[in-house]
Structure 1
Amino acid sequence: MSAVESALPTALRALPVPTLTAVAPPLPLVRELTDARVSPRSTPTLERRLLWERRYVRRLRFTDAAIVLLATALTPVFQLLLVAPGVLIGDPWIVARIPALTAIVWLFVLAAFHTRDREITGSGATEYKRVAHASGLTFGILAIAFVVFQLQGIRAQLIFAAPIGLLALLIGRWSWRRWLHRQRRFGHYASRTLVVGSRDDVEYVIRTLQRDGQLGYLVVGATISGSAERSITVDDMSYDAVGNLDDVARTANELGADSIIIASRPDADPEYIRRLSWELEGAASELILSSRLADVAGPRISLRPVDGLPLIHVKIPRFEGGRLALKRTMDVAAAAVALTLFAPIALIIGIAILLEDGGPVFFSQSRVGRDGREFRILKFRSMRTDAEQRLTALLEANEGAGPLFKMKDDPRVTRVGRILRKFSLDEVPQFWNVLIGDMSIVGPRPPLPREVRAYDGTVSRRLYIKPGITGLWQVSGRSDLSWEESVRLDLRYVENWSVMNDLMIMFRTAHVMVHPNGAY
């Protein structure tokens, strides 16, 4: 016995000495507290998603670097060949290093503008906008720097590298996007997606995603609230209906889904989204909230947290001002160029029309333009001269959607007219309508007066801007689309048009002319 113990009273020595195990919490509680403090780790599903994203970004990064380096390095060669050797003036040490400096700044700004973010690559115009803005800022910075420091040699980069490099960058991004779309047809490079919500909202989301299989979301299942159905069918395609709203995280894990789209949430559970996001940490890459408002107003929606309160802002569209002036300037320039380039082809088309039946070359018809103003549209005549008189007898055979009249095998169409319609060459004279201000290059389809009389208040919004020779309707299926789908596409364009979107539609129009779909 120690001296301390011998000094204690006998009664105190008899008391039991508490041990560590007597005051420690039970082992399961220790494990629970430990698990709560460990940050979530990535699951194999999430790692698979991140792997293909990194692979695609590496491809874009390598292509961008190769294009920028070539464009800047070859600029002195272009300058010597196309201008004159004597133009290369200034400090040789500086001039020799201008291509390297330009390339470094260009690649840095491309990265700073997040031009390779997964959210913008693969679809939409944002990727192209960021590449264009980053390239413009690059040469703006360099030009200012050379002026401030009184340096020479940047002029050649501005003249040659800027336009050639930007064009090559856009073509490179477009080429990789085409490759990505081909891969997604086989389910590669796409997010395995679980759609959650009420039946109507789930069907709406799935139908939108499968309408264009290039959006990058591969639906692997659906969780339908308040339904015991085992499957859901959307446009002849069946999807498994699994789980319920309380075990979405577990269902996503079982299906190997790395993205969850909430088509609608329980109204009685305002904390549902936040709780689900916590459950998905480490197991999924995206939790996406779907809203039908975004179908038309998508580009005008922004999220702005105000003192912790997330507010969704919807910018009200405007149909006047500087943007329309810019659109008009682009229309005049494009129409003038198109009329000049198509002049020889127009002469051949006119001769072919005359030789077939001797009738007039052009067809003029009343159409309704912006603000309900009527104008005379010009086309190459593709029908017989008595086409309007024979229309009444063919109304019962109408295959068009809504108030449109369309027939795949319209007996009024001439042999030359079928060729013109197939490749949209009958619409070439409409560039004259663009030049004089009746139409735009890109816009809604120009309707007939009888069609406008059948419009309701919603469809009449198509008349807020000038009709176009081409548009979303023309490059998305044309006459094969339903009336509702045609209206949806036109309204989306009317409220959200931009110069970059117009350029993309023009580019897609060229592809549609070579590979016609729905043209009759």
Structure 2
Amino acid sequence: MGSETRGPAGHARLHAVGPGEKSTPRAAAQPWENRYRSYVIIADVVATLLVIVTGALLILDITGRPYFLHASGTALAILCSLPINHAWSQHVLGEGTEEFRRLGRSLVIAAVVVALAGLLFGALDVQPWVFYAVPAVALIAFPLRYGLRQVLHRKRRAGECMHSVIAAGSADTLRDLIERTRTESHVGWQVSAVCTAAGQGERATGEIGGIAVAGRLDELADQVRRGGYRVVAVTSDPHWTPERLQQLAWDLEGTGAELVVAPVLMEIAGPRLNVSGVLGMPLLRVSAPTFTGGRRVVKDIVDRMGAAALIVLAAPLLLGIAALIKLNDRGPVFYRQLRVGRDGRTFTMVKFRTMVIDADRLRHGLLGDNEGSGPLFKLRRDPRITRIGAVLRRYSLDELPQLFNVLGGTMSLVGPRPPLPAEIENYERAARRKLLVKPGMTGLWQVSGRSDLSWEEAVRLDLRYVEDWSLALDMAILWKTFRAVTGGRGAY
């Protein structure tokens, strides 16, 4: 069995073992996984019972009629739908949108079942349970799940509640995977050992990215059986032929380890990828991205309705900011700038003014101090920014007037960063694909580091959004944007 030590945060860490050592039992769910799953189940049950009991008492108080059969039937439908739709599966808890998608699908199915049961048995007074009780359960269950996830992610940032991973592939792809697991600890992967084609590390160190090389690629299954790793991550390498990957999957049967294979198309994910069998071969189908059609019409409607609602709600804040800017130096409240939108069409983007009145004229004298990446011009301590402007920028309040751009149809709530005309002159072919959709007030670049991102990383995130857009992704980005701007991370 591989030796086990305790890391800085006290979590177990498995080490590579030699060929002569005794095998360990199959990898099993760790205690923290079982506890976390129990907390999720308890949260869902509590949310369901709380709403159902409250609803039964309120409806009884209003109508004077007992609704205990309706209440118990609704509760039963929800609590049966959750496990049937695998909403409590450990494979989806704690990471990604699939957990919330399954929770939402379970509640929708439960509502449909209650409605159909009401029609079948002639109980037409089930409408309150379908249209009020089930949505109320969602309003409680989703925040509870999100809160539990935040606790889990906090522990993972401290090095706890991690899945032990053994990775196998080429040195470059392994190094990239190791770096990603370190920077994105919320995923819960901790690479504990790696395997390479020759069983050697970088520059004869016996390590790759600070992780010990356990052996060769053809020894991977043996290492998994001995080390008890929970995840086997296979990255690109000429060694991995279809026959060898199939044999590896067979060899891992009974170990309890999850086999994860990284496809060559690293930046394509989500609904555009589908696995299907054709001519007896498993094929990865990549559908074309959608830039027109019904889904885009829905997005445009949601954008404009959302912008209108936010303008009404934020009206007092908008007026207050405008007054502060005007009182500060008697200059104009808004800053208008020409930007490039969809299909290369230019439009005037509106923001609250955060710099001195002659900021554009002073820009030429600051070019030598540019800290921006690529064609971007950025300064962490830009002397042109006013005191009020610094606060507005920190919390992205200067961008609120862009809601009028969204309302007018030149921008979206979520989309790629709107570039300047001078910037697109230096765009490569890949970066120009950002112009296939409307620019957004926020996007993946906003929730992933904002001004701290390199130019290459910002382009990669924008292209990922353009290629894999969905309404669910928009909702997730809007929520993460709220968290990013309230924390003021990466803004200057």
Task: Give the TM-score normalised by structure 2.
Answer: 0.90
Alpha-carbon distance between aligned partners in 1 of 2:240 and 2:417, rounded to the nearest angstrom:
44
1:172 match: secondary structure: helix
Match status 1:60 vs 2:32: no
For residues 335-386 of structure 1, the C-alpha deviation after alignment (integer angstroms, 9 at most, x for no partner) is: 1121111111111111111121110001111111111111111110001111
Pairwise CA distance, 1:279: 2.9
From 89, 93, 100, the counterpart of 1:117: 89
Contact 1:78/1:160 (CA < 8 Å) preserved in 2? no
Does structure 1 retain, via aligned residues, the 8 Å contact 2:200–2:215? no
Query: Once the 2 structures are TM-superposed, how far is the Cα of residue 484 of structure 1 from its aligned partner?
Result: 1.3
Is structure 2 residue 47 aligned with structure 1 residue 75? Answer: no
Deviation at 1:493, TM superposition (A): 1.0
CA 1:154–1:294 in 2, change beyond 3 Å: closer, same or farther?
A: farther
2:18 equivalent to 1:46: no
- Kept in 2, the 8 Å contact 1:190–1:218? The answer is yes
Q: Which runs of 5+ in 2 are unaligned?
A: 1-22
Report matched runs for 1:154-303 at 5 Å: 154-226=126-198, 228-229=200-201, 230-232=205-207, 234=209, 238-253=210-225, 255-267=227-239, 269-303=241-275
Within 5 Å, give how 1:412-423 maps onto structure 2. Answer: 412-423=384-395
Q: The residue matched to 1:72 in structure 2 has which SS?
A: helix
Please, what TM-score do these two structures have when normalized by structure 1?
A: 0.85
Q: Which amino acid aligns with 2:46?
A: A
Give the corresponding residue for 2:13: none
Change (3 A) 1:353 1:233: farther
Structure 1 portions without partners, runs of 5+: 1-41
- Give 1:196 deviation, angstroms: 0.8
Match of 1:497 in 2: 469
Pairs within 5 Å for 1:504-519: 504-519=476-491
Query: 1:79–1:362: structure 2 CA closer, same or farther, 3 Å change rule?
Result: farther
- State the one-letter code of the partner of 1:70: L
Question: Using the alignment, how far apart are the partners of 2:459 and 2:372 within structure 1?
Answer: 13
The letter for the 2-side match of 1:159 is F
SS in 2 for 1:409: coil
Residue 357 to residue 509, structure 1, CA distance change in 2 (3 Å): same
Residue 254 of structure 1: how far off its partner (Å): 5.2
**C-alpha distance in 1 between matches for 2:250 and 2:379:** 55
Q: Map residues 119-134 of structure 1 onto 2, 5 A cutoff.
A: 119-134=91-106
**How far apart, in 2, do the equivalents of 1:393 and 1:79 lie?**
70
Cα distance in 2 between the residues matched to 1:459 and 1:339: 31
Percent of residue pairs bearing the same amino acid type: 39
Question: Is it true that 1:137 corresponds to 2:109 in the alignment?
Answer: yes
Whole-Å Cα distance in 2 between the matches of residues 268 and 332 of structure 1? 49
TM-aligned CA distance change 1:292 to 1:328, over 3 Å: same
How much does 1:317 deviate? 1.1
Q: Which has the larger radius of gyration?
A: 1
Corresponding residue of 1:383: 355
Cα distance in 2 between the residues matched to 1:71 and 1:480: 43
Q: Would you say the 8 A contact 2:236–2:264 is kept in 1?
A: no
Q: Report the equivalent of 2:402.
A: 430
Alpha-carbon offset, residue 132 of structure 1: 1.4
1:483 equivalenced with 2:455 (yes/no): yes
- The secondary structure found in structure 1 opposite 2:27 is helix
What is the alpha-carbon distance in structure 1 between the residues aligned to residue 325 and residue 416 of structure 2? 28
What letter corresponds to residue 346 of structure 1 in structure 2?
L
Q: Give the partner amino acid of 2:215.
A: G
Q: Give the residue type in structure 2 aligned to 1:63.
A: A
Q: 2:74 aligns to what?
A: 102
Of 425, 442, 445, the match for 2:414: 442
Select between 411-420 and 333-342 the one with higher mean Cα deviation: 333-342
- Give yes or no for the alignment of 1:402 onto 2:374: yes
Shift of 1:163: 2.0
Match of 1:304 among 253, 276, 280: 276
Give the Cα–Cα distance (whole angstroms) in 2 for the partners of residues 269 and 291 of structure 1.
Answer: 13
Q: CA deviation at 1:448?
A: 0.8
Within 2, Cα distance between the matches of 1:312 and 1:422? 43
Measure the CA separation in 2 of the matches of 1:412 and 1:77.
61
Map residues 10-49 of structure 1 onto 2, 5 A cutoff. 43-44=24-25, 46-47=27-28, 49=29
* TM-aligned CA deviation for residue 479 of structure 1: 0.9
Separation in 2, partners of 1:233, 1:246: 18
Distance 2:274 2:93 in 1: 19
Aligned residues: 467
* Structure 1 stretch displaced more, 430-439 or 130-139: 130-139
Q: 1:99, CA displacement in angstroms?
A: 1.0
In the TM superposition, residue 295 of structure 1 has moved relative to its aligned partner by 2.3
Preserved contact between residue 43 and residue 282 of structure 1 (Cα < 8 Å)? no
8 A Cα contact 2:81 2:106, kept in partner = yes
* SS of corresponding position for 2:245: helix
Residue by residue, what CA displacement relative to the aligned partner does 1:274-303 show, whole Å, maximum 9, x if unpaired? 222333333342111112414233442121
Alignment RMSD: 2.0
- Deviation readout 1:88-115 (Å, 9 max, x if unpaired): 66xx4xx321111001111211222112
Write the distance in 2 (CA, Å) between the matches of 1:189 and 1:439: 41
Matched, 1:462 2:434: yes
Q: Is the 8 A contact 1:76 1:156 kept in 2?
A: no
